Amino acid sequence: MNDQEFSAVPNWEMPGTPDNFQRLWTPHRMVYIQHGTQPPKDACPFCLAPDKADTEGLIVHRGESAFVLMNLYPYNSGHLLVCPYRHLSTYDEASPEEVAEIGLLTQKAMKVLKHISGSHGFNIGMNQGEVAGAGIADHLHQHVVPRWRNDANFFPIIAQTKALPRLLEDVRQDIALAWHQIP
């Protein structure tokens, strides 16, 4: 194949050809998206958490129609989840009140995390449905992941390890205390 023929072939037809996308292969995430990995409705961790003490449920704030808790398997220290109390799977099923409170709690989570950890940015998002990669697909939840300049290192890629400098409960306590101090 000469250079002219090569440039006419789209990248998607030539596996392994460099393009503008960086890819991080994470086959260990398949456990979250394979059939049958979702908990039954009566074992939904987001339905069970509000019935527990805040420390046991990892809850940092309880609102009227939604609450905020620590992610048990955080991507970064301070990784929060904003969930409606009601067991619903997608954003379009949420009531206007739930949507509004999820938005307000997300904003507040960002302010609190900036204050207590000096985060420089955030990844915020919802994976809705198993096909979209939701670990718990049947209960809507929004991720709020604090990020810092230069927070990535070789551990996640090479050593398949995420360095979390603080224990979940220590971070939960700091966030819960700061929640009511930050306007």
Number of H helices, E strands in the chain: 6, 5
Whether the CB-CB separation of 179 and 111 falls below 8 Å is answered with no
User: Residue 50 gets which letter from DSSP?
Assistant: G
Q: Report H helices in the chain.
A: 3-8, 30-33, 45-48, 54-57, 96-117, 168-179
Catalytic pick among 61, 79, 139, 141: 141
User: Residue 24 gets which letter from DSSP?
Assistant: -
- Per DSSP bridges, beta strands 121-125 and 80-84 are unpaired
* 153: CB partners within 8 A, 6+ apart: 163
CA 169, CA 59: separation in Å to the nearest integer? 10
User: Residue 178 gets which letter from DSSP?
Assistant: H
Whether the CB-CB separation of 134 and 127 falls below 8 Å is answered with yes
Question: Is 141 a known active-site residue?
Answer: yes
Active site residues: 141
